[in-house]
A and B are shown apart, each in its own frame.
Chain A
Amino acid sequence: MAGDQANRLNNGGLIDRSAALNFRFDGKTFSGFKGDTLASALVANGVKLVGRSFKYHRPRGILTAGSEEPNALVELRSGARREANTKATTAELYEGLEAASQNRWPSLNFDVMSVNQLLAPIFVAGFYYKTFMWPAKFWEAIYEPAIRRAAGLGRAAQVSDPDHYDKAWAHCDVVIAGSGPAGLAAALAAARCGARVILCEEDFVLGGRLLADAGTIDGLHAAEWVARAVAELEAMPDVRIMTRTTLFGVYDGGTYGAIERVNDHLPVPPEHQVRQRLWRIVAKRCVVAAGAIERPIVFAGNDTPGVMMASAMRSYISRYAATPSRRIALFTNNEDGWRTAETAIAAGLQVAAVIDARPDVSPAHRSLASKGGFPVLHGSVSGVDGGKVGVRKISVLLTGGARAEVEADGLAVSGGWNPAVGLTSYHRGRPKWRDDIAAFVPDGAPPGIVAAGAANGAFSLGACLREGFEAGAAAARDAGRSGNTGSTPLANDEAFSLTPLWHVKGKGKAFVDQQHDVTASDIELAQREGFESVEHLKRYTTLGMATDQGKTSNVAGLAIMAAVTGKSIPETGTTIYRPPYVPVAIGAFAGHHRDENFHATRLTPSHHWAAEQGAVFVDTGLWKRAQWYPRAGEKDWLESVTREVKAVRSGVGFCDVSTLGKIDVHGPDAGAFLDRVYINTFSNLAVGKARYGLMLREDGIVYDDGTTSRLAEDHYFLTTTTAKAGLVMQHLEFCRQVLFPELDVQLTSVSDQWAQFSIAGPKTRDLLKEIVDPAEDLSNEGFPFMGAREVNLRGGLTARLFRISFSGEMAFEISVPARYGEATARNLMIAGKAFGVTPYGTEALGVMRIEKGHVAGPELSGTTTAADLGLGKMMSTKKDFIGRVMAGREALVAPNRQVVVGIKPVDKTRRLRSGAHIIPKGETPGPDNDQGYVTSVCFSPVLDQWIGLGLVERGRERIGEIVRAHDPLRGEDYDVELCNSVFYDPDGGRQRG
C-alpha cells in the first residue's frame, strides 16, 4: 500500500496534484503532493500510527493539523541536520523528505518499552519525586539513565549544525500575528490608513481557518476573497507579508520576537541562504489575530490513533483532500463540531454517528443526519477500542444511563475552542474567563497589543472580520495614520451553542496532556496530595510542560482540577504564560554568533605582518595578540620566549602594545580631572613628561593602572590596561559627566587611532635613530627617562614618542597613526637588521615585567589596595580622589594584609606554578594556615630559574623566609623563598641609561 495515497480524495484540496513528492517515513517510501504537510501526506497514505508516547509508549496518531500538535512529533532529516520533535503537522513536504518516528524501540509497531504501560502505577504524577528520593547517588547512576532511555522524546543530532541562521530587525507601525479572516481584515484596514504593516503567518499559505472552513465574504467565496485581499496588500509598498513566520514573544517597548522558517521546506537551504531567521520587530501596535485552538474532551482511550480534533479532520479533508478515516464518528459538545459531519458528507465519506453532549440539536443538523443516514446520539464517548491499528469501536454513554456502541475507523472530537491567549498573556497578563463561550479570553495584555477575532473569543466569521478590521484601523490611528479604511468586509454570524464538557468518566486511561502522558487521574491524584494550585499542579504532574506547552491540554487540565476541588474555572486560574509561543532553535538565537564569530575579533595594526612572521596568537579579550614568534628548530614555546627575552636584554626588540586603551584628555581642567581619578597627582606633571598612574574604585580597591603623558598644557594622553580599556572610558565619562560637571574637560577614545610599539633593549636608541628624523635629539639629556613628545619620522610622518619602560631596559614606546602600524613594524625590522632586532610577544613581555616586579592583571585582581601592590606611597594626601576615603578603612590598611612579594623555589630546578598556596613551614595546609598564593610566574632567563610574584600575608616583612608552596590541584608541595619583587636591576639603572 506504500505510495498509493489510498486515502487521497479524488477532488479538491490546496495541493498541486501535478507535483508528486516522494518521502520516507521510518524507512518506507511514500508519495504526496506539493502543498502537503508531512502529516497530511501520512494521512493520505493511510498511516495512523506515527509515534509512541513519552512515558507509557502508547501508540499515538495525529491529533491536530497545526502547531498545537502534541503527538505527531518526528525526527526530521538525518545526520547533522536531524531535528528532533518536529511537528509533522507543520513540516512542509518536500522531495526526498526523511522522517522517523520517535520514542520507540526497536520499531514503531513492536515497541519493547510499551511494557511501561504495565508499570503504569509507578509512572503516576510526581513519580520522579516519590520513587527516587533515596539514595541520592542511585539517581545519577541508575534511575536517571534508565528513565531517560524509557521516557523521552527525539534524539538531538549530536554534531554541529551545518546550516546558517540569521538575525534581523524590522520596524513598522502595526504588526499582525495571523492571516485568518481577522488578521487579513486588520491588515487591510491598517494598510489602507497608510500604516507600515508587517503580517506574520506561521503557515506557508495565507488564510488561516478559511483554508479549511470555507464561507462567503462580501458575496465572494472565501478563497476568492482571500486572494483579492492578499493581492491588495501585496500591491501596497509599506506592507510586508511574511509566511512561515511565527510571532513567538512580546518584549518591552513594543519589541516582538518572530521566527521565520526561511528554508525549512527544502531539503537543504540554497547556497548562501539561511535556514531560519530570527526577527526582532519593533512595532507601535500589535494585533493578535492568532485564532483559537480546538480543545479535546478527555475520555478513556482518547489517545487512540484515529481520534482527531474535529477541525483537524476537516482540514485534512478540505485543505489536503486526504481523509483520515472512511467511516467517521463525531463527538461534540458544540455547534461548530457539526461542520466536520457536513464536510465529511460533502466529501462522500460515511458518518457513523454524531454523539452530541448538548441537550438539543438544531433542526438543520437533524435533517442533515436523516439525509446522511446516521444516528444522533445524546450523550458522551466513554471508551475507544482500537490500540495501535486505530479506532474500531466507540462506547457511548447515553444521556439517561443507557449504553451504545458505534463502529467507526475515526473519531472527530470537538470540545469547543480556546482563544490563543499566549501572546496577549506575556508580561503576566492574566486571561479572563467568559462563561458565555466557556473559554479564557485575553485580558491585561501588554501595552500596544490587542486581540481580535477568534483570538479574542469572537468565533463567527462575521465577527472575526469586524473585530479584525476595527482593530487594524484603531492600531493604525494609534500609530498616527489617518487614511481611509474603506468598508468592513461582511459575512454571516453563525450560531454559537456549547455545553461545557471536559472529562467523561470511564474505564481506562483518559489523557489530558498527550505529549507528557498526563491523565485525568494524575490530576485527581495531585489534588488528593495537596497540589491544588495550578502552578503546583503543572510542576507535580508536568502538565503543559512539554514542547507544545499544553496548547491542547492546559485548559482541560485546570477544568478537571476545578471540578475535583469544587471551585470554578476562573477561581482555579491559569498558570503564567511565557514566551516562546512555539519552540525556537537555539541556533536561531545565536544567529551568526557561533564558532569564530561568537564575538568580534580585534586585530592589532601589525597583525598581518606578525602572522607572516609565524607568530603564535593568543586571545586576550576580543584581541588576538602575538604571543611569541617561534623560529625553526625551537622545540617549545619556552625556548622561543627565552630567546626573545635574551635578545631584548642584550640588544633590541619590539612588541605591539596597541591593545592598551588610549584616551585623549583635553581642556583647561584636564589636570584637575586626572587628579580626581588617579591616586597620584597629574596637574603638576610638566609638559613633555609621562607618569605612571593608579586609579581606585570608590570602595578603595585598585581599578586600573597605566601611563599618562602631558603633551600640551591642556592635553594629556592616558593609557589603560588592555582588559579595562572600555570600562575605564565608561568610568571616566561617569566621573566627568555625572560627578564633576564643573570641570572643563573632554575625553576622546583614541584606542583604535594609534598603533603603539614598545622598543626595548640597550640598542633601542641605535634602532630609533634609523627611523626618527636626524634632527630629533634622542640623547639622555634631550629625551630623558619618562619624557614624552611628538617627533618627526624619516619620511615626514609625525609620531608620539614616550620614554617609558615595562621591561626594565632602556626603552621607548612609539605611537603612529593606526594605518601606519603595519609599515612601522616592517620598517623596524628593516632598520633593526644591523642590530639583530627581535620581535617579541606577550609572553616575553610578561617575563620581563615579572623580572622587574611590575604588577599586572593577576595582581590587580579586584581585591588589592595600592598598598598591597607596594604603591601605597603614591596616594596623595593633598587632594580628594575616587576611592580615597574608603581606602582608609581599617581592614584595608590592616598590617596583616596579603601584599605583593617575590617568590622563588629553593630548589632552583623546580618549576613554580601560579595558584599554589603559601603555607608557613611546619604548618598543616588548610584555610587556617593559608597565607596567600602565587599570582604570576615565569622562567627567568636572567636568573636561570622559575620565579614569581605572589600575594602573601605581611610578605614584604618576611623577605628571606622559607615557606611552602602547596598546590593540591597538581599534587605538589615544595619550599619557596619570599624575596624582593624586583628580581632584575633593582636600582633601575638600565632603564635610565
Chain B
Amino acid sequence: MRIVCPFCGERELGEFTYLGDAKPQRPAADAGEDAIYDYVYLRDNIAGPMSEHWYHGGGCRAWLKVTRNTLTHEISSVEPAAGAGAAKVGA
C-alpha cells in the first residue's frame, strides 16, 4: 500500500504506523466517565470507506487522517490530522 503524505509525497506503507478509527474525539474534561469510556473503547467495525489515523514516523512525523476503503485498501484522501481528535467545544 502507498500513502500520499501531504508533506512528503507518495511513500510506502512501511514508513507509516496505523492507529485506527479517526472518528472519536476526546471529550472535554468535564464530559463524564461514560463519554470517556466510549472514546477509549467503542469503535465501529467499518466495511468500506473509513477515516483512520496514520503516523508518518518514517518521514515527517505528521499524524494523518487517511480515508481508506477497508474492503479494497483504496485510499481516497489524506490530510493532516491537526485537531482531528480535539475536544468539541461545548461537548
Q: Which residues of A contact B (CB under 8 A)?
A: 169, 251-255, 280, 282, 427, 447, 698-699, 726, 729-730, 733-734, 737-742, 880, 884-886, 888-889
Contact = CB atoms under 8 A, between A and B. Distances in A.
B40 A886 contact: yes
A889 B2 contact: no
If over half of A's interface residues share one DSSP class (helix, strand or loop), that class is named, otherwise mixed; here it is: mixed
Nearest to B41: A699
Contacts of B72: 427
Contacts of B80: 737
B86 A730 contact: no
A880 B41 CA distance: 19
Query: Which of B29, B41, B80 has the most chain A CB atoms closer than 10 A to its own CB?
Result: B29
6 contacts: A253-B2, A730-B57, A733-B55, A734-B55, A738-B82, A738-B83
Contact of B62 (A427, A447, A737): A737
A877 to B, nearest CB: 12
B81 A738 contact: yes
Q: How large is the interface on B (under 10, 10 to 19, 20 to 34, 35 or more residues)?
A: 20 to 34
A733 B61 CA distance: 8
Given A734-B55, A741-B83, A252 B61 contact: no
Contacts of A251: 1
A61 B26 CA distance: 68
B86 A255 contact: no
Nearest to B25: A739
A888 B37 CA distance: 12
Nearest to A740: B86
A730 B19 CA distance: 10
B17 A739 contact: no
B82 A737 contact: yes
Contacts of B33: 885-886, 888-889
Nearest to B87: A739
Contacts of A280: 12
Contact of B86 (A447, A729, A739): A739
Contacts of B17: 730
A681 to B, nearest CB: 15
A739 B41 CA distance: 17
A252 B82 contact: no
Nearest to B2: A253
B1 A738 contact: no
A774 to B, nearest CB: 42
Given A698-B39, A734-B19, A741-B82, 16 more contacts: A251-B1, A253-B1, A253-B75, A254-B2, A255-B12, A280-B12, A726-B57, A734-B63, A737-B62, A737-B63, A739-B85, A742-B83, A742-B86, A884-B29, A885-B36, A886-B37
Interface in B19-64: 19, 26, 29, 32-33, 36-37, 39-41, 53, 55, 57, 61-63
Contacts, number: 73
Contacts of A699: 40-41
B78 interface: no
Nearest to A734: B63
Contacts of A741: 82-83, 86
B77 to A, nearest CB: 15
Contacts of A733: 55, 61, 63
Contacts of B40: 698-699, 886
A107 to B, nearest CB: 49
A280 B80 CA distance: 28
Contacts of A726: 57
A255 B57 CA distance: 21
Query: Which of A169, A886, A888 has the most chain B CB atoms closer than 10 A to its own CB?
Result: A886
A447 B73 CA distance: 11
Contacts of B57: 726, 730
Contact of B29 (A729, A734, A738, A880): A880
A738 B84 contact: yes
Contacts of B2: 252-255, 282
A171 to B, nearest CB: 10
A472 to B, nearest CB: 24
Contacts of A884: 29
B72 to A, nearest CB: 8
B1 A737 contact: no
Contact of B63 (A427, A738, A885, A889): A738
Contacts of A738: 53, 63, 81-86
A253 B4 CA distance: 10
A880 B63 CA distance: 23
Nearest to A700: B40
B3 to A, nearest CB: 8
B18 to A, nearest CB: 11
Contacts of A885: 32-33, 36
B55 A730 contact: yes
A507 B16 CA distance: 60
A252 B40 CA distance: 30
Nearest to B71: A428
Query: Which of A169, A739, A886, A889 has the most chain B CB atoms closer than 10 A to its own CB?
Result: A739
Query: Which of A253, A729, A737, A884 has the most chain B CB atoms closer than 10 A to its own CB?
Result: A737
Query: Which of A730, A739, A885 has the most chain B CB atoms closer than 10 A to its own CB?
Result: A885
Contacts of A729: 61
Nearest to A726: B57
Contacts of A730: 17, 55, 57
A969 to B, nearest CB: 34
Contacts of A739: 26, 85-87
A679 to B, nearest CB: 14
Given A738-B81, A738-B86, A739-B85, A252 B1 contact: yes
Contacts of A427: 72
10 tightest CB-CB pairs across the interface, nearest first? A253-B2, A880-B29, A741-B83, A252-B1, A738-B85, A885-B36, A252-B73, A737-B63, A738-B81, A741-B82
A599 to B, nearest CB: 14
A739 B72 CA distance: 29
Query: Which of A253, A699, A880, A889 has the most chain B CB atoms closer than 10 A to its own CB?
Result: A253
B61 to A, nearest CB: 6
A529 to B, nearest CB: 34
A737 B36 contact: no
B47 to A, nearest CB: 14
Given A252-B2, A742-B86, A737 B37 contact: no
A789 to B, nearest CB: 29
A729 B84 CA distance: 18
Contacts of B41: 699
A453 to B, nearest CB: 27
Nearest to A736: B63
B52 to A, nearest CB: 12
A447 B69 CA distance: 14
Contacts of A880: 29
B90 to A, nearest CB: 15
A737 B73 CA distance: 25
Nearest to B63: A737
Contacts of B63: 733-734, 737-738
